């Protein structure tokens, strides 16, 4: 490809061959597959599901609909398709539709070639400029997408309304020879969707009363959320019928894939990466929160739980640890379980609650999700307390539970210095021994984290009582807490009765 070519005559002499955008995508994908290149860089977890379907659709020269819940990388996939385009393509200089010099469709390009012949000026268009994206909203009009008559242009150029030069082209014609993406297709009004029929089937556009046939060359990609079909709108059946391939996306199938996505997407500063250590247990806990949310009775499953939940939660977690480090004037720190108080704001805005969830409140649901994640991972690191209770054998947790049963309590606040944090955990007899017994090869820092994790895990299995403080957690005996709560309730009732009389 010679970017020094400046005229139509030079382009013809070079042997340039015109291709449709779909042929271009197909041929470049074939080269990529033959060279065993990965393609769609940064898309994790779709290697055996979505990407093969996507490649099949491209090889078939199909327009496509990416159908899936929010946060499933639908738009990102569409944007990465520009990597399958040629780096540069020639077009008639000055053409607003970027006409192919060998196959012009607009009045401007046809007139330029008729006037200048082989001396018609040629420019080159980079692949990054061949991508157009539009979010479907109820206020989108046919004029926005297709075009309309421009009376100002008609008056300025002194043209009649029968002249096609008075047309102001919309986004779709201007995407000629490129990729056009409509996000959230069901949000587009039905009458606007109908306007797309001709473009997809007959490859032309209709603007008011013009007998205009522009054979547009466009790769269409639509995205939609299945929830939208009932809550906000729907894809009209004839339009859906004209979209040749429907590709289903999905959430990560396991924690390993989800963890890779979070670590790739999380926006951390160099200082955070250097000074804050994050154990693998912490990373898995973040991902487990999303898995628990997708199965929670409090959360609307049709709405889904976006991958953005774990990404923003991880960023908040790191920032919570960084805040503590700065407050205590420390140079380094390690993320703790207590820091998960900082992820609550990242969770509450990412979940759609059903009625039961609304009754509980978003913050409480978020805390429940964190607790369930801890409980799920607890049995991967330590013996299951429930199985120990049924077996009636030696309980390795007895010393810890008995210590709290003796009236002892501890508070793990989120602003404790490293020394204070370690000192408090070491006051609980048996806690360090259990961490060392089941994970003898871990470093001191990892064992300290496991000691804290074990307290949270025992609380989730109702072996200890855990209460939420404004800036941390309080651990105490489970039975004593129940009696205290019961006594407090009775006291309140007596007080209310006294007030009645």
Determine how many CB atoms are found less than 10 A away from the CB of residue 103: 12
Tell how strand 131-135 and strand 178-183 pair up: parallel
* Mean pLDDT over the full length of the chain: 89
The residue behind tokens 């309140």 is: 492
Choose between 156 and 310: higher pLDDT: 310
- The answer on pLDDT for 209 being more than 80 is no
- 237 by Cβ neighbours in 10 Å (0-12 / 13-18 / 19+) ranks as exposed
What is the H or E stretch that residue 473 is in? strand 472-477
Write the CA distances from 340 to 87, 218, 323, 409, 475, integer angstroms.
46, 47, 13, 21, 16
What is the H or E stretch that residue 124 is in? strand 122-126
CB 257 within 8 A of CB 43: no
The model's pLDDT over 97-119, given as tens digits with 9 standing for 90+, comes to 999 999 999 889 999 999 999 99
pLDDT band at 491 (very low <50, low <70, confident <90, very high): very low
User: What pLDDT is stored for residue 198 in this prediction?
Assistant: 76
- The answer on pLDDT for 58 being more than 70 is yes
Instruction: Please tell me the least confidently modeled range out of 208-217, 284-293, 492-501.
Output: 492-501
pLDDT band at 496 (very low <50, low <70, confident <90, very high): very low
> Does the pTM of the predicted model rise above 0.75?
yes
User: What pLDDT is stored for residue 494 in this prediction?
Assistant: 42
User: What pLDDT is stored for residue 439 in this prediction?
Assistant: 93
The model's pLDDT over 284-325, given as tens digits with 9 standing for 90+, comes to 999 999 999 999 999 998 888 999 999 999 999 999 999 999
Write the CA distances from 205 to 62, 209, 220, 223, integer angstroms.
19, 11, 14, 22
Write the CA distances from 76 to 38, 131, 439, 444, integer angstroms.
16, 12, 41, 41
Distance CA 394, CA 235 (A): 61
């Amino acid at each position: 490809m010679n970017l020094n070519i400046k005229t139509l005559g030079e382009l013809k002499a070079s042997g340039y061959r015109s291709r449709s955008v779909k042929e271009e995508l197909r041929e470049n994908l074939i080269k990529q597959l033959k060279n065993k290149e990965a393609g769609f860089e940064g898309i994790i977890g779709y290697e055996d599901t979505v990407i093969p379907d996507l490649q099949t659709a491209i090889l078939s020269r199909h327009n496509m609909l990416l159908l899936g819940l929010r946060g499933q990388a639908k738009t990102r996939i569409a944007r990465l398709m520009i990597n399958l385009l040629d780096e540069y393509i020639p077009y008639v200089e000055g053409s607003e539709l970027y006409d192919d010099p060998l196959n012009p469709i607009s009045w401007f390009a046809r007139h330029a070639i008729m006037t200048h012949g082989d001396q018609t000026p040629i420019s080159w268009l980079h692949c990054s400029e061949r991508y157009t994206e539009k979010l479907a909203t109820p206020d989108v009009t046919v004029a926005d997408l297709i075009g309309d008559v421009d009376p100002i242009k008609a008056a300025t150029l002194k043209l009649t309304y029968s002249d096609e030069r008075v047309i102001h082209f919309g986004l779709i014609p201007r995407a000629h020879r490129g990729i056009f993406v409509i996000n959230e297709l069901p949000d587009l009004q039905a009458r606007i969707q109908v306007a797309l029929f001709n473009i997809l089937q007959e490859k032309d556009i209709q603007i008011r009363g013009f007998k205009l046939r522009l054979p547009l060359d466009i790769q269409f990609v639509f995205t939609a959320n299945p929830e939208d079909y009932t809550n906000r709108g729907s894809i009209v059946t004839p339009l859906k019928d004209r979209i040749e391939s429907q590709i289903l996306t999905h959430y990560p199938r396991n924690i390993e894939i989800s963890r890779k996505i979070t670590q790739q997407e999380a926006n951390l500063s160099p200082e955070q990466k250097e000074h804050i250590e994050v154990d693998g247990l912490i990373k898995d806990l973040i991902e487990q929160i999303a898995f628990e949310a997708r199965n929670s009775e409090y959360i609307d499953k049709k709405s889904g739980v976006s991958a953005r939940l774990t990404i923003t939660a991880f960023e908040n977690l790191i920032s919570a640890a960084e805040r503590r480090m700065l407050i205590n004037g420390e140079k380094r720190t390690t993320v703790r379980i207590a820091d998960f108080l900082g992820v609550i704001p990242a969770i509450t805005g990412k979940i759609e609650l059903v009625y039961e969830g609304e009754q509980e409140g978003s913050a409480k649901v978020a805390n429940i999700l964190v607790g369930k994640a801890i409980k799920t991972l607890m049995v991967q690191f330590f013996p299951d307390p429930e199985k120990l209770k049924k077996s009636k054998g030696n309980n390795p947790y007895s010393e810890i539970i008995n210590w709290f049963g003796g009236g002892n309590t501890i508070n793990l606040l989120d602003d404790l210095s490293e020394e204070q944090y370690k000192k408090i955990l070491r006051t609980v007899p048996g806690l360090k021994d259990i961490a060392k017994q089941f994970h003898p090869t871990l470093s001191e820092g990892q064992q300290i984290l496991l000691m804290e994790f074990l307290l949270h895990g025992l609380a989730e299995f109702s072996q200890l009582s855990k209460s939420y403080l404004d800036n941390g957690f309080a651990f105490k005996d489970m039975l004593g807490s129940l009696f205290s709560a019961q006594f407090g309730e009775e006291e309140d009732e007596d007080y209310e009765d006294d007030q009645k009389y």
